[in-house]
Amino acid sequence: MKNENYDIVIIGGGPAGIASAYAAKKHFNHVLIIERKDCLGGILEQCIHDGFGISRYNEELSGPEYARKEIAKLDNIDVALNANVYAITKDDELIKLSYYAPDGVHHIVAQKLIIATGCRERSAKEITILGTNPSGVYTAGEAQYYINIMGKLPGKRVVILGSGDIGLIMARRLTLEGAKVIGVYEIKNCPSGLERNIVQCLKDYDIPLHLSTTISSVKGRKKLTSVTTVKVDENMKHIEGSEEEIECDALIISAGLIPVNDMMKKLGLKMSPRTKGPIVDEHYMSSVPNVYCVGNALHVHNLVDDVSYTGERAATFAKDNLKERELIDVTFDEHISYVVPEVFDIKNIPPLVDFALRVKEEMKNITLKIYADEEVIFQRKYVKLLPPEMLLVKAKIKDDMKMKKIHLAIEKEDK
Ligand SMILES: Cc1cc2nc3c(=O)[nH]c(=O)nc-3n(C[C@H](O)[C@H](O)[C@H](O)COP(=O)(O)OP(=O)(O)OC[C@H]3O[C@@H](n4cnc5c(N)ncnc54)[C@H](O)[C@@H]3O)c2cc1C
């Protein structure tokens, strides 16, 4: 049994945790990353397609290449691999956590904590599909692991439910490996994934995307033999008579990602019903002082570059010992589905504030404005915004600026 003291501990060794660690090392002596898998890199290890690091490195890297570049920045940082946190508490000052690893049980006391545990996929059990319980039903991430890490094909005739980015990427990957992807079926009337993935992963390979369509049931005693698709109306109700049975041996579900929040719940962090992650202020600090949250554990990001950025920012903020906080709610108009940060600490306003947001529906020729009381602190025009595209904007704050209200508005050009 080992008792250890750290200035800052980071749970999760994906890109968010790695960036948190090397940024923290500039300000703290003793930094520890706790990762439950046997290597650092997080989900990137199985993402062998390119498209990572465009803004950070000005290159189109594969996931593992991006991870290698980030891991190379870690210097003199303790890393616990195959490590599982089984207890975590916080008293007035300190965070106490215990984990077991191959070399035994460790009890840690830390001044600060960054949660960077990533997100998980919505599983088949979380979606209502009637019928039998055959093998051959995978989440898109499972199918990706199967092909890219284990070198196995999950099926030869494949149906994809949900048009999330991982599902789209898998449609292309399966096609390149010789499988027939019959189609992608999306219950909403617009795709969930990025436009570039619709083009590069579906259109370029003639894979049909069926909007306003879902899968109502699956068949197969041991192994999946077919699925039944059905069209839905504007209230997402099944349209009787539109059913179609499709023979297939694999169903891949790509129906959304949710922050991994078990550590947050153990620590009693206030959670956001909108993002399913914790509520943080502009320092990425949660409702529990000195506990921060970054990357996909905070809310689901599109780009790894943005994920790494949040890690660096939170670790840099963590060096400050802030005055007692005074939190106000960040408000936004009806076109926006969520904004992070959801609260704003008006006693400790930094010179640069990050706002991440998504719109509810497609919007064209609009201006995003951020108001501090009546003053506009940020404004930018956009030709087009889509719900799948997360926007990360940075607002400069004047020295000693005081405010009682922060509001984000989307204004149409004809206003
Ligand atoms: C299929 C796919 C394709 C993508 N394509 C692109 C792309 O083309 N371009 C791009 O920029 N981005 C892309 N992304 C997004 C990018 O990969 C993710 O945004 C990024 O990896 C998220 O980083 P993270 O550190 O927040 O989470 P993760 O990478 O998920 O890392 C979280 C880590 O925390 C660990 N962990 C979780 N819980 C615990 C615990 N209790 N104790 C210890 N460790 C724990 C996990 O094991 C994991 O290693 C893609 C993502 C996926 C899934």
How many whole angstroms from 116 Cα to the centroid of ligand 1?
9
How many whole angstroms from 17 Cα to the centroid of ligand 1?
10
Residue range 57-66: mean pLDDT, rounded: 96
Separation CA 187–CA 203 (nearest Å): 19
Q: What is the mean pLDDT of the chain?
A: 94
- Are 397 and 353 spatial neighbours (Cβ–Cβ below 8 Å)? yes
pLDDT for 256: 87
Residue-wise pLDDT tens digits, 162-180? 998 999 999 999 999 999 9
Separation CA 365–CA 412 (nearest Å): 7
Q: Which DSSP letter does residue 269 get?
A: -
Residue range 271-289: mean pLDDT, rounded: 97
pLDDT for 384: 93
Structure tokens at 245: 């049975």
Structure tokens at 122: 């919505």
**Considering only CA atoms, which of 89, 81, 83, 90 is closest in space to residue 105?**
83
Residues with CB under 6 A from ligand 1: 11-17, 34-37, 42-44, 47, 51-52, 85, 116-118, 141, 144, 165-166, 169, 260, 263, 295-297, 301, 303-305, 307
User: What structural domains and CATH numbers belong to the chain?
Assistant: 1-120+257-321 (3.50.50.60), 123-255 (3.50.50.60), 325-415 (2.60.40)
Check pLDDT > 70 for residue 228: yes
Return the best residue to mutate from 48, 85, 117 for the ligand 1 pocket (most ligand atoms within 8 A of CB): 117
pTM over 0.85: yes
Check pLDDT > 90 for residue 200: yes
**Nearest CA residue ID for atom 37, ligand 1:** 117
Q: Which residues contact 325 (CB under 8 A, 6 or more apart)?
A: 281, 285, 289, 345, 347, 348
How many whole angstroms from 214 Cα to the centroid of ligand 1?
27
- Are 117 and 147 spatial neighbours (Cβ–Cβ below 8 Å)? no
Q: E-assigned strands of 66-161? A: 78-80, 84-90, 95-101, 104-115, 119-121, 130-131, 137-139, 157-161
pLDDT for 311: 98
